Structure 1
């Protein structure tokens, strides 16, 4: 899905319905027992198994600007697990969200089984206090669309909380079976408002994590947290990152909340007051040659000038807007000709480079580990796809 200026919307596996309807699925090389062609994601490379739990959260202090009533969210917490044997793996998308996504894409994907993650549902958490990262997806995308990066971080000792933003994220399924779809926007003013809602969502989630760590209820439902997860949340070491509009949300959150010590924006235009105010804490920008954020983007140059802390702009070579997400790895397994903006960078190289760069950034600023691989200087022999633009 090509991004739409000025929002760089990640209408992943959605939008452009007429183009999608014209694409015929490729003959499957093999099929599962269900007759569907299986689509797979690679597992994380870190030493720790990954557990995850889904949370239904309700913020009764805010009114949902699209639907009225209290603002409801869905989030997934991924974390290092103590033991995952015999635990079911969470799906990449819940059943209702998968049906909605396939319908949004005109039936082209009906013959495909979307992947499982490598996160064991409600596995007990591994002992130890972990840095906490908040992740916001692109507009029209879902919180699971960066599972490759999220699970990598969790397998290396982070707790990562991915957040869906109903009516802005692609398709959000709640425990009662409701599925809320993205509504889109018609103007930059509406995008600025949507980013502000996302920042408030993330701040509420961070507040809720504080409640969880103190023994509070896990969410709107009756379920319990996995054993040991409360004690794993080190809320003195919090970071935020996102893709596309989610990167804008990470910046906006940092503008609102100084509990967030570092942030990263993966190829997303920045919107709202933070553009003019800037930030005084570390912030990483990543773009593509097609985006060229410090030259072509309408807001990056001003935002860059107003960053007063450590700052870096890096570029993923030969990439498209969706090369920062799971879509770069899924695209080769899906019917040819789909309008997926993943560039020409090999999928495995894009995944490895983005994983390593995000990890190096948060390792530096939340764990105090030096960038020995020179990734943040765009000078890594191991990841030549990452180039230095400015700093």
Structure 2
């Protein structure tokens, strides 16, 4: 895992949050320049969006990264189709306290980069289809915030899924908790990725437990944040999928091995590690990678994992993509690369040569097609190559 640039190690902006040689270049920029602004385009589903963030505490588990903390704390966001007019405020793309910490670690002065808002309305009533809604979990890459999958997440929710995004505290570069507290990487980052995988797997299983509490009418969180009307009755926990980028993809596979509640999993340029490599899985799994390093061609563990998949499987390779092409970072990084002193070559190493709008089109079409197929039993995009996506190669 390379922290050389902003989005290295499969994680988005967070990787460059580790103080390093990029910071002086960013600090040297004049304050009088207009701020760089990032704003996601609206999702294309038929439903408006609602979202709520919740603080969860696992009192049965001391924090594995900071032993002085007697319990494991997580922040999650739940995204869902909403109903009614957009009268509630939209939530920021990243919680302001976390965004401020990110940008300060980059060496950027306040106000130099504005990360904009999402299309999710905080606490809006649940809408969408009249039936129960399938649930998808999202795990980001190492050092990354749950915010970096917002484009994918918004698209899924706008088409009638409930999506739960997870910040893996102390693995993520910065996590904002209620009251303004921000937790960052101990000593600047993690290096034990086997441990990180085990911690993340436990995190996801705990989140599933709390979703069951929510479904039964209880409150899953710590602070009793008011829940959106209709949320507890909307979750179909018999149809649960999981999606992750980089280490989040490996987390998806590892969690599926230990928890049968997850029906189908998808990995966006993630590897495979731990017992699942040799054990394989008997449920649907989608592997998405690039022709470059870390892909199936160059990753023996991923090839072994692939050979042991016994259920429905599909391997997609996205030509022109690089490791950071599978989240919002593919749109953010080109905007702020000049502030970080990144050369065109370095930028291409991170986001590839695929145009940002094509990367975004892939993100919106293929994860949804996978979960439509395996959680709703509909859709044909994954049957074979599509003329609408000539850059996508298929292998069974």
Asked whether the equivalents of residues 321 and 353 of structure 2 are also in contact (C-alpha less than 8 Å), the reply is yes
Change (3 A) 1:231 1:380: same
Tell me if 1:380 matches 2:382: no
Segment of structure 1 superposing worse, 275-284 or 336-345: 336-345
Displacement after TM superposition at 1:185 (Å): 2.9
Tell me if 1:366 matches 2:369: no
Distance in 1 (alpha carbons) for counterparts of 2:254 and 2:246: 13
Equivalent residue, structure 1, for 2:118: 117
**CA deviation profile, 1:63-83 (whole Å, cap 9, x unmatched):** 111123111000000000012
Displacement after TM superposition at 1:179 (Å): 0.9
Asked whether the equivalents of residues 353 and 385 of structure 1 are also in contact (C-alpha less than 8 Å), the reply is no
What is the TM-score with the length of structure 1 in the denominator? 0.91
Displacement after TM superposition at 1:29 (Å): 12
Tell me if 1:266 matches 2:268: yes
How do residues 160-309 of structure 1 correspond to structure 2 at under 5 angstroms? Answer: 160-183=163-186, 184-186=189-191, 190-291=192-293, 293-309=295-311
Equivalent residue, structure 2, for 1:53: 52
Displacement after TM superposition at 1:104 (Å): 1.5
Tell me if 1:140 matches 2:146: no
Distance in 2 (alpha carbons) for counterparts of 1:215 and 1:364: 29
Displacement after TM superposition at 1:180 (Å): 1.1
Q: Secondary structure at the match of 2:296?
A: coil
Displacement after TM superposition at 1:11 (Å): 5.5
Equivalent residue, structure 2, for 1:350: 359
Displacement after TM superposition at 1:292 (Å): 5.4
Change (3 A) 1:176 1:28: closer
Q: Secondary structure at the match of 2:286?
A: strand
Equivalent residue, structure 2, for 1:87: 88
Tell me if 1:129 matches 2:138: no
What is the TM-score with the length of structure 2 in the denominator? 0.90
Asked whether the equivalents of residues 12 and 141 of structure 1 are also in contact (C-alpha less than 8 Å), the reply is yes
Change (3 A) 1:282 1:85: same
Change (3 A) 1:151 1:11: closer
Q: RMSD of aligned C-alpha atoms? A: 2.2
Distance in 2 (alpha carbons) for counterparts of 1:209 and 1:143: 17
Segment of structure 1 superposing worse, 360-369 or 83-92: 83-92
Q: Secondary structure at the match of 1:304?
A: helix
Distance in 1 (alpha carbons) for counterparts of 2:27 and 2:88: 36
Distance in 2 (alpha carbons) for counterparts of 1:156 and 1:370: 13
Displacement after TM superposition at 1:39 (Å): 1.8
Asked whether the equivalents of residues 27 and 108 of structure 2 are also in contact (C-alpha less than 8 Å), the reply is no
Q: Secondary structure at the match of 1:299?
A: helix
Gaps of 5+ in 1: none
How do residues 33-112 of structure 1 correspond to structure 2 at under 5 angstroms? Answer: 36-68=35-67, 69-107=70-108, 110-112=111-113
Count of residue correspondences: 378
Change (3 A) 1:25 1:235: farther
Asked whether the equivalents of residues 55 and 73 of structure 2 are also in contact (C-alpha less than 8 Å), the reply is yes
Asked whether the equivalents of residues 151 and 363 of structure 2 are also in contact (C-alpha less than 8 Å), the reply is no
Asked whether the equivalents of residues 148 and 327 of structure 2 are also in contact (C-alpha less than 8 Å), the reply is yes
Change (3 A) 1:175 1:115: same
Distance in 2 (alpha carbons) for counterparts of 1:43 and 1:333: 19
Displacement after TM superposition at 1:316 (Å): 1.4
Change (3 A) 1:39 1:9: closer
Moved over 3 A (4+): 1-4, 23-31, 337-340
User: Which of 287, 312, 329 is the matching residue for 2:314?
Assistant: 312
Distance in 2 (alpha carbons) for counterparts of 1:128 and 1:197: 34
Gaps of 5+ in 2: none
